[in-house]
């Protein structure tokens, strides 16, 4: 609600949620169960606009609708599978070179961790797209069963760690993306490609990662520069890795 100090008769209000922040936010997401959870103590619900550990939201899409994520904010997505419609996070969801926006899945791998699940590899869309996004760190997250699991479109300063892309047509597609670091991640059983890198002179880097059982290529280096270090690539036919 906004009210004039000089004339209290002049006022207006909105019915939607908004926040006034004094510090970075910790935002929590959970599915409809609590088994194996790490961060939350209750099932998630779309009506939990506060998105706390005791009243979590139920999807990353809802968080994107409700919150303006800013540098230093952390989204914790707890153990479980989340059926996800295609979601685009654009430049408004960006950190800085010193303070990233963080999306962190469950560290409870024995309980299955955190998985975003698409509606099938035949659906022509990307499950999660970072469009012109800057300085975001994504960790402990699996993306599966989508045409493209994660698309980095002109994104910059994105760090993926303990990330898994499996059973998508293509795991991760980097198009005009710069200064991308993929670390300790797994790309497996994607019928197309594990990682696609297209068109940038800046260096993107893959470290300590595994590519196995991808149908066409583990890595499709179309153009630009991509450094691969201390990783395992399973060969798949002549000149295909």
CA nearest 156: which of 198, 95, 207, 82? 95
Instruction: Return the pLDDT at 241.
Output: 56
Beta pairing class for 126-131 and 148-153: parallel
CA nearest 209: which of 222, 221, 218? 218
Residue with tokens 């696609």: 196
Instruction: Return the pLDDT at 188.
Output: 96
What percentage of the chain carries pLDDT values higher than 70? Answer: 95
Q: Count Cα neighbours of 36 within 13 Å in the Cβ-side half-sphere.
A: 17
Q: How far out from the chain centre does Cα 138 lie?
A: 5
Summarised one tens digit per residue, pLDDT across range 147-179 is: 999 999 999 999 999 999 999 999 999 999 999
- Determine the Cα–Cα distance for residues 153 and 126; give it in Å rounded to an integer: 11
Instruction: Return the pLDDT at 237.
Output: 60
Mean pLDDT of the chain: 93
- Determine the Cα–Cα distance for residues 236 and 68; give it in Å rounded to an integer: 43
Instruction: Return the pLDDT at 21.
Output: 77
Length of the chain: 241
Strand partners, 137: 102, 159
Strand partners, 228: 206
Q: Is the pLDDT of residue 122 over 70?
A: yes
Instruction: Return the pLDDT at 1.
Output: 73
Summarised one tens digit per residue, pLDDT across range 57-115 is: 999 999 999 998 999 999 999 999 999 999 999 999 999 999 999 999 999 999 999 99
Instruction: Return the pLDDT at 16.
Output: 64
Q: Which H/E stretch holds residue 204? A: strand 203-207
Q: Is the pLDDT of residue 235 over 80?
A: no
CB 162 within 8 A of CB 119: no
Instruction: Return the pLDDT at 234.
Output: 85
CA nearest 61: which of 119, 138, 132, 116? 116
pLDDT band, residue 36 (cuts 50/70/90): very high
Does residue 15 or residue 240 have the better pLDDT? Answer: 15
Q: What is the CA radius of gyration of the chain?
A: 19
Instruction: Return the pLDDT at 240.
Output: 55
- Cβ count near 189 (within 10 Å): 16
Q: Which H/E stretch holds residue 63? A: helix 60-66
Average pLDDT over residues 42-68: 95
Structure letter (DSSP) for residue 189: S
Residue with tokens 């004339």: 7
């Amino acid at each position: 609600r906004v009210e004039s100090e000089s004339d209290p008769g002049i006022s207006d209000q909105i019915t939607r949620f908004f926040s006034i922040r004094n510090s970075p936010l910790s935002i929590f997401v959970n599915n409809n169960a609590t088994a194996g959870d790490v961060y939350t103590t209750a099932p998630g619900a779309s009506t939990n606009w506060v998105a706390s550990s005791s009243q979590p939201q139920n999807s990353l899409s809802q968080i994107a609708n409700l919150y303006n994520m800013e540098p230093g904010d952390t989204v914790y997505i707890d153990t479980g599978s989340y059926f996800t419609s295609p979601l685009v996070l654009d430049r408004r969801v960006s950190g800085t070179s010193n303070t990233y926006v963080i999306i962190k899945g469950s560290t409870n791998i024995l309980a299955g961790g955190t998985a975003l699940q698409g509606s099938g590899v035949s659906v022509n869309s990307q499950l999660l797209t970072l469009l012109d996004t800057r300085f975001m760190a994504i960790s402990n997250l699996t993306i599966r069963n989508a045409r493209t699991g994660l698309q980095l479109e002109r994104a910059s300063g994105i760090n993926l760690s303990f990330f898994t892309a499996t059973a998508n047509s293509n795991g991760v597609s980097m198009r005009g993306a710069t200064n991308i670091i993929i670390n300790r991640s797994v790309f497996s059983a994607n019928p197309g490609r594990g990682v696609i890198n297209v068109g940038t002179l800046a260096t993107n880097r893959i470290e300590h990662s595994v590519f196995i059982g991808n149908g066409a290529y583990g890595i499709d280096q179309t153009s630009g520069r991509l450094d691969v270090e201390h990783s395992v690539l399973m060969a798949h036919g002549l000149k295909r890795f």
